[in-house]
Chains A and B, each alone.
Chain A
């Protein structure tokens, strides 16, 4: 049962462009939506996160857009750089209870010069 659907699975963007990764969730009890960034040989690292009481959160070049009614959220990377090349995972969890995080399948982003 895939509770968090992520697309695309791979993405190639030119340097300076905008990278967009989309996710959709099913469980309306989710109330915490983090994005993780993973470089080869490393564990995933928390990049940015949002709670459903806001529609957008921006940290530097990274922005999460959240649409509660559509149960969708997306990550935008502005002015994409080769150093952004990594795998990105969207995720969802409930902040109470056992706090288990459910991850999307991942998007492998390649930013080309």
Chain B
């Protein structure tokens, strides 16, 4: 157990629907990062939050959004899902201060049917 908790582990949804993925960072970590993993794109950075504030944005679609709550858990909202939008979504966290890399959760596998 890495200490980063992601729920649900698997999600199957229909095209056009909206889903919410949840991430609880490791205890004491203030930064949360969301990544999308697909077979041909590797790990693509989506967005970063630090202590509730958005800090960096990557290749995140406009119909995707995220937030980090006061208890530091984060949610990634994916809407108007399309066929071909199936992917693995990972959350990672890191502490403030000197950077020693991320700790990843075990991911949410999203299947769009």
Contact = CB atoms under 8 A, between A and B. Distances in A.
Nearest to B45: A100
Q: Which 5 interchain pairs have the tightest Cβ spacing?
A: A43-B104, A103-B43, A105-B42, A95-B99, A98-B56
A98 B55 contact: yes
A100 B90 contact: no
B43 A44 contact: yes
Contact of A43 (B31, B50, B106): B106
A112 interface: no
B24 to A, nearest CB: 14
A100 B35 CA distance: 11
A13 B31 CA distance: 37
Contacts of A98: 48, 50, 55-56
16 contacts: A42-B107, A45-B2, A46-B100, A46-B102, A46-B103, A49-B101, A93-B99, A98-B55, A100-B33, A100-B48, A100-B56, A101-B33, A101-B101, A101-B102, A103-B35, A105-B41
Contacts of A105: 41-42
Interface residues of B, number: 27
Interface in B9-65: 31, 33, 35, 41-43, 45, 48, 50, 55-56, 58
A6 to B, nearest CB: 8
A101 B33 CA distance: 9
Contacts of B104: 36, 43-45
Contacts of A41: 106
Interface in A54-96: 89, 93, 95-96
Contacts of A42: 106-107
A7 interface: no
B42 A106 contact: yes
A98 B31 CA distance: 9
